[in-house]
Amino acid sequence: LAFDVYCHRIRKYVGAYHATLGRLDAVVFTAGIGENSAAVRSASLAGLDGWGIAVDPDRNNGKGMRVISPPDARVAVCVVPTDEEHAIAEAVTTFLA
């Protein structure tokens, strides 16, 4: 149930941003779950094909920065790894300097 609710909320936010912006160029998954869970990425965007949002199952598996949408999709779906610890250390260094 938690998995379904989590993915539903992501889908709801994608829809809300689409309505607010009027269009979407990309959906980007990042950080812990977004970067490492093919199941979450796939389930979160299921049923959004009508908006040009789709996940290619073969591209969805793997590691590193990549586009996981089909080549002909109107909206790019991407996975972008993050390095939160480095970003925090950089911000602290800047603050202390």
Q: How many other C-beta atoms lie within 10 A of the C-beta of residue 21? A: 9
Dihedral angle sign, alpha carbons of residues 19, 24, 30, 32: positive
Across 59-83, average pLDDT: 93
Q: How confident is the model at residue 85 (pLDDT cuts 50, 70, 90)?
A: confident
Residue 11: the pLDDT is 95
Q: What integer pLDDT is reported at residue 86 of this predicted model?
A: 82
* Residue 62 pLDDT > 90: no
The pLDDT of residue 97 is above 90: no
Q: Report the alpha-carbon distance of residue 28 to residue 82 in Å, rounded.
A: 12
